[in-house]
Amino acid sequence: MLCGSARHTNLYVHRLAPFLRTDGEACMTDSCADKLTEAAKAELLLKPMAHAQRLVLLACMGRGELSSSTIAARAGFRLPIVSHHLGVLRNAGVIASRRDSREVFHRIISPEAQRVMEALGGRPADQAA
């Protein structure tokens, strides 16, 4: 089915596989060394997201576009910390930002990042209340 031997690792890999793979083939049919390109793509997506505070910020934005101050209030983080982490996510192409007067609004633009957040237990943005 998938490369790896630990059952708990396979569970998470299995949940992420549909949007990290491009060929639809199971890992056991190919050499795992042949997956270097796919692994590099996955790393580019997952590395900036692999931080607890960034995941909280993305969970807040899963419901739609929010201002920096709203994200900070909902997440319970100080605004400078939120701004730093939003910058990391923006530079990685995970989110987009726009300025409206004195406020900066942020939203998730990466469909892969949105699917990762849904796989981690978040609700899809189109089903948010």
- What local confidence, expressed as pLDDT, does residue 13 receive? 53
- What local confidence, expressed as pLDDT, does residue 1 receive? 33
Query: Dihedral of CA 10/11/13/19: which sign?
Result: positive
- C-alpha distance from residue 106 to each of 3, 33, 34, 59, 115 (Å): 36, 37, 36, 12, 17
Domains of the chain: 7-48 (no CATH), 50-127 (1.10.10.10)
**Alpha carbon distance 61, 73 (integer Å):** 12
- What local confidence, expressed as pLDDT, does residue 5 receive? 39
Tens-binned pLDDT, residue by residue, of the chain (129 aa): 334 434 444 445 555 555 555 555 555 445 676 677 878 888 888 888 989 999 999 999 988 899 999 999 999 999 999 999 999 999 999 999 999 999 999 999 999 999 888 888 755 545 444
